[in-house]
Amino acid sequence: MNSQLLSLAIWVPILGAVPVFLLGSERRCLVRWLALAVAVAGFLVTLPLYTGFDVQQGGMQFIEQLPWIPRFNIQYLLGVDGISMPLILLNSFITILVVLAGWEVIEKKQAQYLGAFLVMSGLMNGIFSALDGILFYVFFEASLIPMYIIIGVWGGPNRVYAAFKFFLYTLLGSLLMLVALIWLFLQSGGSFNILDWHELPIGMAPQILIFIAFLMSFAVKVPMWPVHTWLPDAHVEAPTGGSVILAAIALKLGAYGFLRFSLPIVPDASHYLAPMMITLSLIAVIYIGFVALVQTDMKKLVAYSSISHMGFVTLGFFIFNQIGIEGALVQMISHGFVSGAMFLCIGVMYDRMHSREIADYGGVANRMPKFAAFFLLFAMANSGLPATSGFVGEFMVILGAIKFNFWVGFAAATTLIVGAAYTLWMYKRVVFGDVANHHVAELTDINGRETLILTLLAACVLAMGLYPFPFTEVMHASVDNLLKHVAVSKL
């Protein structure tokens, strides 16, 4: 079946951004509603991907195939499986929230702000659905441009440094990936089709080199320790919407890349280097968890907690069992909701107080009781409380890790303590206690728009925590397929 759903998911937001740009920032009201309409339309066109998805099938679905650059056999080849489909939905959903979150707060060049997020959303759907190496790369790189602009124009005081660091760090990795992609093209006798590469036999030495090239690219995106340092800077300086998209979606690109490229294309190198990957993941989980503990800036704290949570994702991938990988995928989706919600909560406070320092707050619950309730739910989800989405993924990964090796699982499980410590300690200092100063005393509770955003996220977090089956159901066959593939040596 040749459907156009994926093309719609990519191009509706991108083309919808054009009138948003053209309207300019003078007609603020119209621009906002138009951007919201585009974002909602962008989400609605992705819904049939879920309803029409065949859960029994592990291969690619909704395939679209057109020649793009016949000169090098590059195709406009799109398709999704159970791994990428949920990410597309997540991305389109979060985009609506980001548009809502920028409703009143952004005063400078609002049309460009909203337009940039719409373009970004389309490009990321492109990344998740591209099955051609160059098409993937093109979307992957192009998504840097709107993010660079978003951080640099609407970010905090140190935004220029953060924007450059973000761009150059990410570019470093992806350029090496480009060389690897071209090498694979030549090796496979002239194909950029990722699925062809999955079948391509490759010797051990080139496998390791390709793995490293991909690692450079994806590890920076995830980000894994020790190439994570761009993330706290970018998060702290980015506007709320930028932080949400970065944490909820952009970090998933790297993790997704491991599943789509590294594991199936170079399985032997993946197995061979798995101990290194597991070690790096555990360092991220434990060490970065402790780093988060000492942060005084709320956004930085959540940024480090993101790195720590993403460490769980990469850990889940490289223990090579079903429950580990599925847990990692659930963790990816859950982290999308939870980290997005955490940044939005901080955004809510920042919009009122213009400070992210924990020390400037205290007793927020007295002035903003509704907000405090939402914030508590998300803080609990962030620390992995059962019945929230945060628990499901972490629990599954820990189970998988214990199956793999008891001590790896044990080390990973410490995060349940550290994660709870840094999140709840921050929550306690910010929300509980007496009203700390007159700024806090003047706070007003969340308005209808903010309530709507947080309610939507809270519903997702709870739904996923209480009944994760609809999420795991779609992944099952694809993960099965992937694991079978990874188990076969290519040597």
Nearest alpha-carbon partner for 265 in 212, 197, 321, 204: 197
Residues 6+ apart with CB under 8 A from 415: 285, 286, 289, 308, 312, 384, 394
Q: How far apart are CA 424 and CA 155, in angstroms?
A: 27
**Token pair of 25, please?**
């920032």
Question: Binding of another protein at residue 197 (CB under 8 A)?
Answer: no
**Is residue 216 involved in binding another protein (CB under 8 A)?**
no
Nearer to another protein, 141 or 445 (CB): 141
Assess 390 for contact with another protein (CB under 8 A).
Answer: no
Neighbours of 352 (CB within 10 A): 18
> Segment 106-135, which members bind another protein (CB under 8 A)?
109, 112, 134
CA distance 446 to 156: 23
| Residue 109 beta carbon to another protein: minimum distance, rounded to whole angstroms | 8
- Judged by CB under 8 A, the chain residues 65 through 84 that form the site for another protein are 67-72
Name the H helices within 45-107.
47-51, 85-101
Selected binder of another protein within 6, 99, 144, 385 (CB under 8 A)? 144
Apex 80 CA angle, 305 and 132, nearest 5: 95
Which residue lies nearer to another protein by CB, 175 or 413?
175
Coil, strand, or helix at residue 201?
coil
Residue 15 as a binder of another protein (CB under 8 A): the answer is no
- Closest C-alpha to 320, from 369, 285, 270: 270
* By CB under 8 A, residue 175 contacts another protein: yes
Q: Rounded to a whole number, what is the distance in angstroms from the first to the last CA of the chain?
A: 34
**146/310 Cα distance (integer angstroms):** 23
**Minimum distance from residue 374 beta carbon to another protein (Å):** 33
Of 44-52, 99-107, 157-165, 331-339: span binding another protein (CB under 8 A)? 157-165
Residue among 223, 211, 66 at smallest CA distance from 135: 66
Residue 179 lies near another protein (rule: CB under 8 A): yes
Q: Which stretch binds another protein (CB under 8 A): 136-144, 314-322, 327-335, 371-379?
A: 136-144
Q: How far apart are CA 331 and CA 392, in angstroms?
A: 7
Nearer to another protein, 158 or 437 (CB): 158
Instruction: Tell me, by CB under 8 A, how many residues bind another protein.
Output: 37
Examine residue 293 and tell whether it contacts another protein (CB under 8 A). no
Give me the least distance between CB of 167 and another protein, in Å please: 6
462 binds another protein (CB under 8 A): no
Of residues 5, 8, 17, 149, which one binds another protein by CB under 8 A? 149
- The tokens describing 110, both together, are 């609002």
Under the rule (CB under 8 A), what is the footprint of another protein?
Answer: 21, 24, 67-72, 109, 112, 134, 137-138, 141-142, 144-145, 148-149, 152-153, 159-160, 163-164, 167-168, 171-172, 175-176, 178-179, 182-183, 185-186
